[in-house]
Structure 1
Amino acid sequence: MTNPAIVAQGAVRRLPRLALWLLCLAYVLPGFIGRMPWKRADITAFGYMAELAAGRTDWLAPRLGGMPPDVDGLLPYWLGAWALQLAPGWIDPGFAARIPFIALLLLTLVCVWYGIYYLARSPLAQPVSFAFGGEANPSDYARALADGGLLAFIACLGLAQLSHETTPAVAQLCFVALSFYAYAALPHHRWLPLLSAGVGLTGLTLSGGPILALLLSAGGLLFHALDRAQADQNPSRHRHGLWRLLALTVFIALLATVLDLWDWRLRWSEFGPPASAQRWQSLGRMLLWFTWPVWPLVLWTLWRWQGQLLAQQPSRHLSLPLCWVLLTVGTTLLTPASDRALLLALPALATLAAFALPTMSRGVTALIDWFTLLFFTLCALFIWTYWIAMQTGVPPQPAANVARLAPNFEPRFVILPFIFATLGTLIWTWLVKWRIGRHQAALWKSMVLPAGGVTLCWLLLTTLWMPPLDHARSYASLMQRMDTVIQTSATAPVIGTAPGVTAAPCLSWFGLSRAQVAALQFHSRVVRTHGLEPLTDATRCGWLVIDRDKLRQTPGLLDETRWERVALLEHPRPGGEDGLQLLRRLP
C-alpha cells in the first residue's frame, strides 16, 4: 500500500506539555466563569438541574413547569443537580452547575489526544522508512500527530460556544470522545479501553443519544470483528474483545429500553421536495463554517491516503475515524438540533485532519499560517476597537453600533478581565513572532496559529465583552424590569376575585417556553419570594405573565374583565424576541 507520510525525526519535536495545558485551560475556562446562564438551551438545562437539586421533580422524569425536557437525557441534569447540592452556599448556583461540564470538556480534550495517539501508533500509519535511517520514531511521531490533532480540534469554530454551555450536548461530546478513544486504544490495552467504551456509551445513552450510542457500539463491534490484523496477532484476545463488545451493545439497548430513553426524532420529510434544496443548502453552509479549519484537511487526508483507504484491508487509523464521521454526520442530517449533533463529529474529524499534517507541503502550511495570522489578528483588532468605543465613545460609529445592539446597557471598566485580555493579546503577538521564524519543523506547527487564534478571540469575547454579552444573551435584564414594574405598580394591593379574599402575591404564567420558566425561577426576586405556578382556573396569584406572541395569536385567550395589562416587556430590544405581557388581576 502507498504511504504518503515521509517524516524525519527532526519533524516530530515535542510540543511543550506546559504550553499545551495552558492553551487548553485558556480555551476551557473562559466562557464558564463570570457569566449568567444564557438564553435558550443553557438556561433551560439549568432550570431542570435546579428543580432536581431542590427536590421538586422526579429524578427519572424531570419536569420544569410541568414540561419534560426537549432532550431526553438524564445524566447531564443529574450532574448539574449533584453539583448544586454539593456546592457551598458562597458559590454562585449558575457557576456551580457548570463545574461538571468544565471537567467534561477537559476530559474531551484528553480523549481526543489519546485517541489520535493510539491510531497514529498503528503499523500502517507509520511514516516511510528511510534507506539509511533517520525516520521518525513511532512514539514521537504519534505524539506529534496527537498534538496537531488536538490543536485542530480546538481550532474548530463551531466548538467554542456550544462546548461552554451546561447542556446535554457537552456531555454527549465528552462521551463520544471517550468511546472513540476506547476503540482507538483497543489493540494496545485490554481493560482500560473496554471500561472507557462502557462508560462512554452508557453515558451517551443517558445523555439523550441512545440511538447514536447503539450505532457506535454496533459499528465498533463490526470494525473490531473485521480487523484481521488484530485477529491474526492475538486470536484469543481478539475473540474475548468481540464477546465483551457484543455484551456492551446488548446492555446499551436494554438500558435505553428499561429507562424508556428511545426517541426517534428523525426528520425524513425535510429531505423531500420542496424543502430539500433549502435544507441541504443550510446544512452545507453549517458544515463549512462549523468544522473550519478541519474539513479542508480531512479532504486532503482522504486524497493523500486513498491507497490505504481503498485497500482490501483498510487501515485502522483512517477507517475508524471515517466510520465515526459517517455515523455522527448522518445523525446531524436527521435530527432537529443539527449544530449540536454536528458537534459530536468534531473528534473524528480532527483525527482525520491530523493525518494530513505529515503529507502537506511547505507551501500549503505557509498558506494556512498567513491566512490564519491575518484573519485572527483582524478579529482581535475588531474586538479591541469595539470595546474601546464602548468604553470611551471613540470611534463614534462602533460606539453607536454597540448602543444599538445592546440598548440600556451601561458599560463599565473591570480591571481583571482587562488584564487577562491584555495578557492573551501579548501571548498571541509572541506566538506570531515564534511561528514566522524559520527554525520550526514540527508537524503540529501549522495548527498552532489556528488554535491560538480561536483561543485568543474566545478569550477576548469572554473577558472584554462578557458584560454586554450577558446583557444580550441572558434573561436577567428582562426579569429585573418585570420585578421593577411589579414592585412600583401604581395600584396598591391586589384583590382576589371573591369578596374579602386577597389574592396571593405570587406570579402565574401561561404559554411560556422552558427557557422563560427557568429564567423566572432563577432571575426574578418576586418568584423567589412569592412563588411561581402555571395558570389554572383555581389560580389565585395576583400577577400573570404570558408570551406576547401567543396572546397576539389568540385574541380571546384571556378574560379582559379579570386581568389588566400592565406592561409589555421585550428583550433584548423593542420588536425583538422573548416578548412578555405582564398582567394584574382586577378586583
Structure 2
Amino acid sequence: MLTYTPAVQHAQPPASERPWLLLLLAFVWLWPGVFAHDLWAPMEPQLLTVIEQWRNGGHWALPTLFDRPYWEAAPVYVWLGAASQAVFSPWLLDAYEAVRLVNVGLMAIGFCCIGGAARQFLGRRFGRTAVLVLIGCPGLLMPAHLMSTIPLLFTGAAMCFYGLSLAKARVIMASLMLGGGWVLLALSGSLLLSLSLMLLGACLPLSPHWRYRRYYLVLPTALLWAWPQMLLWPYALYQADTAAFFSWWQQQALMPFGGFGQIQFDFSLWYYLKNLLWFAFPAWPLAIWSASRLRLADSDWGILGMAWLALLGFLLAVSPLQFQDLLVILLPPLAVFGAAKLDALRRGAAAFLNWFGIMTFGLLALFLWLGFAAMNYGWPLKLAERAVYFSPYYQTDVDYFPILVACVFTPLWLWAITRQHVRGRQAVTNWAAGITLSWSLLLTLFLPWLDAAKSQRPVVQQMQKAFDADAVRRLQAGQECVSVEAGNHTARIAWQQYGWLTLDVDNPHCRYRLVRRSPQATTPAAGWQELWAGARPREKREWLALWQRLPAKPTEPAKTLQ
C-alpha cells in the first residue's frame, strides 16, 4: 500500500514562562538615577525650587519660580512632588530623592497601562513583550529618572491607550482610564494633548471596527467625568491670579504651539525623525516588521495605532519646539505594534539584534568598568586623563555598596545572554537587559564623577573660597552682602541649595556682585575688580564671576590760584 510520510517538522522549543524575570528587570530599570546625587540641569533645579516655594506658602494653582509664574512646571507634578516630600522626607529620603520618587510611580503606571493594552488587544503574554520593548528604548532613560514633566506625558498617553483597549470588555474601567489620561495630560499645563486625544477618540468610529455600542458608552462617560476635573485647575488659577490666568491662556495653554492668543508653527519633521531612530529603538523597526506582516487596517488596535501615530506625529512635525523627549507620546502604539509579530521575527533578524545588543552593551559595560578603574586608580592612564578633563572637580570616592550592586548586575547579564534558541522575544529581552545593565553601571560606578560634573555644588564651593577670613566674618554677620540680578535663576538656586551665603537680589549697595559673563569677557565693569570666575566643567556659553567694588578714589583738593 502506498503511504505518504510527511516531512519531519522541527518544532521550535517552547518558550519558558518566567514573568518574575520581567518584574525584576523592570524593578532594576526604574531605580538607578533616583538616589544620591545633586540637582542636574536642565530641569531639576527649577522644578525643585518651584516645589519648595509652593510648600512654603505658594498658591496651589499657581506654580512660581521666585514669585513669577513658571509654566514649565506642570501643576500636577508640583503637587505630587510636594506630597512625596511631605511623606518621605527627611525620615526616609532626602528632598531630591523624594521628588524623583514621583517619576518611579508614574513610569510604573505607564508600563502597566501599555502592558495591559497589549494584553487586551493582542492576547496573553503580549503585555510583557510590549513592556520589554519599552524598557529597551534608550530615549526613556533620562526623562524617566530625573525630575521632569515628561513622565506625566508618557503616563497620561499610556492611560488613554489602555482605556481605549478596554472599551469592548469593561465600560466603566475604560471610561475611568481614558478620562484619567485626559485629566493628567491637561494638568501638565497644556490642553493640547488632551484635546488631541479627545479628537482622536471622537474620530475612531469613522472606522467600522470602532462602531459598537460599548464604545459609544465609553466616550461620553469619560467626557462627563473628565471635563469638570480638567476645568478645575484653570478656574482655580483664574480665581488666584487673573493676570496669570490670561497670560497662560493666551501664551501657554496649547504649548508647544503657544496659547489661544497666538499659535505658532514650524517645520520639525526631520528633527523628530532623526531622533526617533535612537530614541525609540528597537520599537520602531519591530513596529515596521509587524506592519509588513499584518493588515493593520483590519483590526481595531491597528486602526487606533495608525491614527495615533498620524495625529501626534503631525503635531510633532509642525511643532515650533524641537525637544526630543516629546517623542514619548508616540511610544504606546509603537510598543504594541512592536510586540504584535515579535515571535514571528525571522531567525536572522533576531540573531542580528541579539548579536548587536550583546556587542554594544558588552563593550559599553567593559568601558564603564575600565572608566571606574581609571578615575579612581589612575589606570588606564589615557582614560584617567580624559576623566579628569571632563570632571575636574571629582575627588576619588569609592563607595562599596554601588560596587557590590554593579558586581551583581554584570554576571546576571552574562547569564541572561547565554541562553540558546534565541528568537525575537529572547533577543528583545537581551536588549532590554543590556540597556538596563549599562544604565545601572553608569549610575552606580560613575555617579560621584557625574555629580561633580553636572552639579553646581563645586562651583558654589569654589566661589565661597574666594573670600578671605575677614570677608567671611562680615558676610556671616550681615555687615556685607553679595548682589545678584533677579533673572539669574541658576545662581540663585545654586546658592540657595548648596551655599552658606544668602544672595541679595538687585541690591546696588552691596560691596560684592555675582554676575554672568561669557568665558572670553574677562574685563569687569568700571569700578569693579574680579575676584573669581568659574562654571561647571566644559561650560562654553556662560560663566559666573564674583566682582568686588573698588574703593572710591579720594577727591583731590582744589588748587589755589596765585
Normalising by structure 1, report the TM-score.
0.81
Q: CA deviation at 1:257?
A: 5.2
The equivalent of 1:473 in structure 2 is 454
What is the alpha-carbon distance in structure 2 between the residues aligned to residue 103 and residue 515 of structure 1? 28
SS at match of 2:64: coil
RMSD across aligned positions (CA): 3.1
Which of residues 284, 301, 305 in structure 2 aligns to 1:317?
301
What letter is aligned with 1:453? Answer: G
Structure 1 pair 86/283, CA: closer, same or farther in 2 (3 Å)?
Answer: same
Q: How does 1:42-61 map to 2 (within 5 A)?
A: 42-55=44-57, 57-61=58-62
Structure 1 pair 82/541, CA: closer, same or farther in 2 (3 Å)?
Answer: farther
The one-character-per-residue Cα deviations of 1:93-144 (angstroms, maximum 9, x if unpaired) are: 1112222222111111111211111121xxxxxxxxxxxxxxxxxxxxx232
The equivalent of 1:376 in structure 2 is 361
The equivalent of 2:532 in structure 1 is 567
Q: CA deviation at 1:542?
A: 5.0
Q: CA deviation at 1:492?
A: 6.3
The equivalent of 2:515 in structure 1 is 546
Q: CA deviation at 1:281?
A: 4.5
Structure 1 pair 514/343, CA: closer, same or farther in 2 (3 Å)?
Answer: farther
Q: CA deviation at 1:396?
A: 1.0
What is the alpha-carbon distance in structure 2 between the residues aligned to residue 347 and residue 508 of structure 1? 49
What letter is aligned with 2:516? Answer: D
Structure 1 pair 14/114, CA: closer, same or farther in 2 (3 Å)?
Answer: farther
Structure 1 pair 491/474, CA: closer, same or farther in 2 (3 Å)?
Answer: closer
Q: CA deviation at 1:583?
A: 2.6
What letter is aligned with 2:435? Answer: V
The equivalent of 1:389 in structure 2 is 374
Structure 1 pair 493/431, CA: closer, same or farther in 2 (3 Å)?
Answer: same
Structure 1 pair 110/253, CA: closer, same or farther in 2 (3 Å)?
Answer: closer
What is the alpha-carbon distance in structure 2 between the residues aligned to residue 180 and residue 504 of structure 1? 60
What letter is aligned with 2:532? Answer: A
Is 2:222 the partner of 1:239? no
The one-character-per-residue Cα deviations of 1:352-389 (angstroms, maximum 9, x if unpaired) are: 21123143222221111111111111111111111112
The equivalent of 1:166 in structure 2 is 147
Is 2:356 the partner of 1:367? no
Q: How does 1:316-335 map to 2 (within 5 A)?
A: 316-333=300-317, 334-335=319-320
The equivalent of 1:32 in structure 2 is 34
The equivalent of 1:499 in structure 2 is none
The equivalent of 2:189 in structure 1 is 208
What is the alpha-carbon distance in structure 2 between the residues aligned to residue 343 and residue 506 of structure 1? 46
Structure 1 pair 295/384, CA: closer, same or farther in 2 (3 Å)?
Answer: same
The equivalent of 1:85 in structure 2 is 86
The one-character-per-residue Cα deviations of 1:42-71 (angstroms, maximum 9, x if unpaired) are: 22111111111222x332222222443252
The answer on whether the counterparts of 1:406 and 1:472 sit within 8 Å (CA) in structure 2 is yes
What is the alpha-carbon distance in structure 2 between the residues aligned to residue 459 and residue 68 of structure 1? 36
Which of residues 258, 262, 283 in structure 2 aligns to 1:294?
283
The equivalent of 2:156 in structure 1 is 175
Is 2:387 the partner of 1:416? no
What is the alpha-carbon distance in structure 1 between the residues aligned to residue 520 and residue 56 of structure 2? 32
What is the alpha-carbon distance in structure 1 between the residues aligned to residue 410 and residue 282 of structure 2? 22
SS at match of 1:545: strand
The answer on whether the counterparts of 2:139 and 2:325 sit within 8 Å (CA) in structure 1 is no
Which of residues 254, 257, 274 in structure 2 aligns to 1:266?
257
What letter is aligned with 2:386? Answer: N
Structure 1 pair 14/60, CA: closer, same or farther in 2 (3 Å)?
Answer: farther
What letter is aligned with 2:96? Answer: G
Is 2:162 the partner of 1:151? no
Q: CA deviation at 1:564?
A: 4.4
The equivalent of 2:493 in structure 1 is 518
What is the alpha-carbon distance in structure 2 between the residues aligned to residue 479 and residue 28 of structure 1? 31
Which of residues 391, 399, 407 in structure 2 aligns to 1:406?
391
The equivalent of 1:345 in structure 2 is 330
What is the alpha-carbon distance in structure 2 between the residues aligned to residue 163 and residue 419 of structure 1? 24
Q: CA deviation at 1:410?
A: 1.5
What is the alpha-carbon distance in structure 1 between the residues aligned to residue 50 and residue 136 of structure 2? 31
Which of residues 508, 521, 538 in structure 1 aligns to 2:483?
508
Task: Give the share of equivalent positions with the same residue, in percent.
Answer: 24
The answer on whether the counterparts of 1:210 and 1:252 sit within 8 Å (CA) in structure 2 is no
Q: CA deviation at 1:270?
A: 7.5
The one-character-per-residue Cα deviations of 1:228-285 (angstroms, maximum 9, x if unpaired) are: 45645xx3x34322322443675577457534451443399784xxxx6xx5544332
SS at match of 2:124: helix
The equivalent of 1:133 in structure 2 is none
The one-character-per-residue Cα deviations of 1:134-175 (angstroms, maximum 9, x if unpaired) are: xxxxxxxx2322222111101001111111111111222122
Q: Quick one: higher RCO (CA 8 Å, sep 6+), 1 or 2? A: 1
Which of residues 274, 286, 290 in structure 2 aligns to 1:285?
274
SS at match of 1:568: strand
The answer on whether the counterparts of 1:39 and 1:515 sit within 8 Å (CA) in structure 2 is no
Normalising by structure 2, report the TM-score.
0.84
What letter is aligned with 1:566? Answer: L
**Unaligned runs of at least 5 residues, structure 1:** 1-7, 121-141, 496-501
The answer on whether the counterparts of 1:504 and 1:542 sit within 8 Å (CA) in structure 2 is no
What is the alpha-carbon distance in structure 2 between the residues aligned to residue 335 and residue 248 of structure 1? 32
Which of residues 407, 415, 420 in structure 2 aligns to 1:430?
415
SS at match of 1:163: helix
Is 2:133 the partner of 1:108? no
The answer on whether the counterparts of 1:298 and 1:352 sit within 8 Å (CA) in structure 2 is yes
What letter is aligned with 1:345? Answer: L
The answer on whether the counterparts of 2:210 and 2:300 sit within 8 Å (CA) in structure 1 is no
What is the alpha-carbon distance in structure 2 between the residues aligned to residue 92 and residue 578 of structure 1? 30
Structure 1 pair 410/157, CA: closer, same or farther in 2 (3 Å)?
Answer: same
The equivalent of 1:136 in structure 2 is none
Structure 1 pair 219/509, CA: closer, same or farther in 2 (3 Å)?
Answer: same
Q: CA deviation at 1:417?
A: 0.5
Higher deviation after alignment, 454-463 or 76-85: 76-85
